[in-house]
Chains A and B, each alone.
Chain A
Amino acid sequence: MKSTLDESQPIFHQIAMMIMDDIVEGRLRVEEQVPSTNELSRFYNINPATARKGLQELVDKGIIYKQRGVGMFVAKGAREALLIERKQHFYEEFIKPLLEEARRIRMDEDMIIDLIRGKKDKESEI
């Protein structure tokens, strides 16, 4: 979870993203309870409807599920599903801009691969 929200994205979306990050990184595990609408609303000083919308986005995606009167919990397979989704977006979000910038500064793919490998080597030496 981040400590503050920013302007650049819808608040409800940021709420959903933070919970998904927590699931991917293992801070929230399967069957573990996720923060409630009221907890989110109080923690971030946001309208409860906005917090609810963020959680609803995750319910709709099947990432978390509601247990009436108890709260919301991480669904089985949520992490695996998120990992698959993130891997699918990895090209668009990271590789594509990387290649675009590389083209701009006249670096070819081999140079990039060398750089990735080289950096890894250096890290392992340390």
Chain B
Amino acid sequence: MIHMEQVCYSYQKNKTSILNSVTLHENEPVIGAIWGRNGAGKTTLMSLLAGHNRPDSGTIQIMGQNPYNNLSAQGHLCYIQENHPLGKSWTMNDLVTIGSHFHSQWDQELAKRLIDAFELPSKQKMSKFSKGMKTAAQIILGLCSNASVTIMDEPTNGLDAEKRKLFYEALLETYENNPRLILISTHHIEEVQPLCESLIVVHQGKVLYHHPMEEVRERGVLLTGLIQDVELASVGTNIIESARMGTTGKVMIDDVYSKEWAAKAQLHGLSIEKATLQDYLVNVTRKQEEVRA
């Protein structure tokens, strides 16, 4: 459904490289999360996929077509930017009309229900909307588009916990009715991870990981105990974080949290925990920086 092959992109002005030989393939209609720290290149990656920019080199295909300057490829696409450009005088009614003209598979029934659920006024100008209301309007455009490839940049920004939940429920519902490729970039990885089948980690202009979510969320072993015991148990492993306090040491190991680890921890008299996905990802990307430095 999407293919990126050795794509490079830099800002023309100062030739700063943003993406450096990125290769990314996704052939299955899955919900995928895109995670990366600030400035990693997430938004550039998405805007290239959406055909908003042209890569310096490499090839991009969306449903078999180059998305850049290509109306027929755009028919399969819906890209919702973080601050999506919406007409100053538009109301929700206008947005729904425009959405239904642009997207042949537009889900009018879902749009109506979501406008109600998100408590959006249908006749008020959207330029008067609060941040949360604007985000909700963007979500409606993205989910109701039913586009084969839907890409949403930080779709939960500015939403409170209740509205985020509403979005997650709507996302699963529309995905169930029409399984398609939906990519979501997010900083709220803990919330989004149960919804996603795959995880793309962007780091320093590269795709560091593109794995099934189930695989990644199993990684990250936290060991705590006497420093010498911790050291003994973690010999030969890939330590991605370590801290000490008096005689107590703590490490995070880049490995699968398994029964074998539980047994090993018990053998060495250590306490063991599964790291949170977010901590694991932060440490893995930090470690990468050290390796490169």
Query: Chain A: residues with CB nearer than 8 A to chain B?
Result: 5, 7-8, 10-12, 38, 41-42, 44-50, 53, 100
Contacts and interface: CB of A to CB of B under 8 A. Distances in A.
Contacts of A48: 172, 175-176
Contacts of B31: 47
B164 to A, nearest CB: 11
Nearest to B274: A8
B274 A45 contact: no
A42 B30 CA distance: 16
Nearest to A11: B194
Contact of B169 (A8, A10, A45, A47): A45
B162 to A, nearest CB: 13
Given A8-B257, A41-B172, A46 B214 contact: no
B273 to A, nearest CB: 8
A44 B193 CA distance: 12
Given A38-B176, A45-B195, A47-B172, 17 more contacts: A7-B277, A8-B274, A11-B214, A42-B172, A45-B165, A45-B172, A46-B194, A46-B195, A47-B31, A47-B195, A47-B196, A48-B175, A48-B176, A49-B197, A50-B214, A53-B214, A100-B266
Given A7-B274, A8-B274, A12-B214, A47 B194 contact: yes
Interface in B212-247: 213-214, 217-218
A62 to B, nearest CB: 23
A45 B257 contact: no
Contacts, number: 47
Given A8-B274, A11-B194, A44-B194, A49 B172 contact: no
Contacts of A46: 194-195
Contacts of A12: 214
Interface of B: 30-31, 165, 168-169, 172-173, 175-176, 194-197, 213-214, 217-218, 257, 266, 274, 276-277
A61 B31 CA distance: 28
Contacts of A5: 194
Contacts of B165: 45
Contacts of B277: 7
A115 to B, nearest CB: 22
A47 B214 CA distance: 11
A10 B176 contact: no
A10 B194 contact: no
Contacts of B169: 42, 45
A44 to B, nearest CB: 7
22 contacts: A7-B217, A7-B274, A7-B276, A7-B277, A8-B274, A10-B217, A11-B194, A11-B214, A11-B217, A41-B176, A42-B172, A42-B173, A44-B194, A45-B168, A45-B169, A45-B195, A46-B194, A46-B195, A47-B31, A48-B175, A49-B197, A50-B197
B175 A45 contact: no
Given A8-B274, A11-B214, A38-B176, A45 B194 contact: yes
B271 to A, nearest CB: 13
Contacts of B257: 8
B176 A50 contact: no
Nearest to A38: B176
B30 to A, nearest CB: 7
B175 to A, nearest CB: 7
Contacts of A50: 194, 197, 214
Nearest to A5: B194
A36 to B, nearest CB: 11
A53 B197 CA distance: 11
Contacts of B194: 5, 11, 44-47, 50
B85 to A, nearest CB: 31
